[in-house]
């Protein structure tokens, strides 16, 4: 493969791209999504590697099942450069298996991403897993050039929910500690501040839940432009999270870790159940459709009588009442998300409910 180095695109060269995960989109192929869904939150029995295959043996409902991943690529003048991961549920029969990725004890989620253009296709896999200490970590599998060949390499990121920089060499000795959970994204910055007597003390900025991971259906994404790291649709008044000058002071290794952190955060936050598209969605808005708004009382009575209600989020802060609230109603395996919003204090609330088809018949009877 003499010219592989010249023609192989870098799958994950985040330092030279503006947008994190730029160009890569989640696969929408139904069969593959079902295979990857089946392994979620299951105990991993063993992961093996043989040549261009990875075999994951896992236990679901006291049954041993298999997910196999085949690595493929092709380069030609007609089709261009193309990489593929092929998924199956069959056990590999070869006896020369090598035990692989022994720290994976259960898989939280597998993201399968594709970047495709004319004469070019590239794929990557992001595995979110828990280790023996129940810490959530990640492996990213990408196609890379190595010794005039194309191989799949893996990159590990430990504790996906946080990134802490070293103390930087700017005049304020800045360090930043970013983290997130299922509800908020926390971009915390710590730096020196000078007292009147000339002494210094450390001040922390941003260590509070201003950035919501509940996106009301919008997709979170990060980018680095000429001036800032920006995080879009995180529910704050502005998108700027970090000054580009501080980012530039990171070492290459820290930039690589930081990009991995942001990339995984983007995938994870967008995959939260509350941010997903549901089979059905109804909005009750007095200004746009007052006749439909009258059914809201019936919906509330039905939900409060038959479902368990759990508070998820509101944007109240510093003594101000909230303008956005989110609740989840559950009964057995059925779930309904309830989004309440007012544009201005004193207005009628705008309510949006999102639910799947397992609740459709019940709610349609009420809305007749």
Among 153, 110, 108, smallest CA distance to 131 is for 108
pLDDT digits (tens, 9 = 90+) for 263-311: 999 999 999 877 877 888 888 888 887 777 778 888 999 999 999 999 8
Bridge partners, 217 (sequence order): none
State how far the Cα of 302 lies from the Cα of 304, in Å rounded to an integer: 6
Output the pLDDT for position 208.
63
Output the pLDDT for position 165.
94
Among 203, 207, 344, 326, smallest CA distance to 273 is for 326
State how far the Cα of 82 lies from the Cα of 9, in Å rounded to an integer: 10
For the chain, which ranges sit under pLDDT 50?
A: 1-17
Q: What is the DSSP string of 62-116?
A: TEEEEEEEEEEEEEETTTEEEEEEEEE-PPP--S--EE--TT--EEEEEEEEEEE
Is the Cβ–Cβ distance between 136 and 108 less than 8 Å?
A: yes
Among 48, 137, 39, 45, smallest CA distance to 101 is for 48
Bridge partners, 114 (sequence order): 25, 123
State how far the Cα of 301 lies from the Cα of 328, in Å rounded to an integer: 15
- Map residue 221 onto helix, strand or coil: strand
Q: Do strands 53-60 and 42-50 pair parallel, antiparallel, or not at all (unpaired)?
A: antiparallel
Residues listed for the chain: 368
pTM of the model: 0.79
Domain boundary assignment for the chain = 4-157, 162-275, 280-367
> Rounded to 5, what percent of the chain is helix, strand, coil?
20, 45, 35
Contacts of 296 (CB under 8 A, 6+ apart): 284, 351
**212: which 2 tokens?**
């919501």
DSSP conformational letter for 219: P
């Amino acid at each position: 493969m003499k010219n592989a180095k010249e023609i192989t695109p870098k799958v994950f060269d985040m330092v030279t791209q503006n947008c994190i995960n730029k160009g890569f989109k989640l696969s929408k192929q139904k069969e593959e999504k079902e295979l990857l869904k089946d392994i979620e939150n299951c105990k991993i029995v063993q992961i093996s590697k043989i040549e261009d295959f990875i075999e994951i043996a896992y236990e679901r409902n006291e049954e041993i099942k298999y997910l196999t991943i085949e690595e493929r690529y092709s380069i030609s003048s007609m089709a261009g450069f193309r990489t593929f991961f092929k998924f199956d549920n069959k056990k590999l029969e070869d006896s020369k298996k090598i035990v692989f990725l022994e720290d994976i004890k259960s898989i939280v989620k597998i993201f399968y991403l594709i970047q495709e253009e004319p004469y070019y296709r590239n794929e990557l896999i992001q595995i979110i897993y828990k280790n023996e200490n129940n810490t959530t970590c990640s492996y990213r599998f990408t196609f890379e050039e190595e010794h005039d060949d194309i191989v799949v390499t893996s990159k590990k990121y430990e504790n996906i929910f946080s990134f802490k920089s070293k103390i930087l060499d700017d005049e304020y000795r800045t360090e930043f500690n970013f983290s997130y959970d299922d509800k908020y994204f926390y971009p915390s910055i710590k730096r020196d501040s000078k007292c009147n007597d000339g002494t210094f003390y450390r001040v922390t900025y941003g260590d509070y839940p201003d950035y919501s991971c509940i996106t009301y259906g919008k997709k979170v994404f990060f980018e680095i432009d000429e001036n800032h790291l920006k995080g879009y649709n995180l529910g704050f008044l502005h998108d700027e999270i970090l000054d580009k000058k501080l980012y530039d002071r990171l070492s290459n290794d820290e930039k690589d870790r930081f990009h991995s952190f942001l990339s995984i955060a983007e995938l994870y936050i967008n995959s939260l159940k509350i941010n997903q598209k549901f089979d059905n969605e109804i909005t009750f808005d007095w200004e746009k459709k007052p006749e439909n708004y009258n059914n809201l009382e019936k919906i509330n009575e039905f939900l409060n009588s038959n479902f368990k209600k759990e508070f998820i989020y509101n944007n109240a802060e510093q003594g101000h009442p909230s303008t956005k609230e989110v609740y989840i109603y559950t009964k057995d395996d059925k779930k309904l998300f309830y989004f309440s919003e007012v544009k201005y204090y004193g207005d009628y609330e705008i309510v949006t409910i999102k639910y799947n088809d397992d609740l459709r018949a019940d709610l349609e009877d009420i809305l007749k």
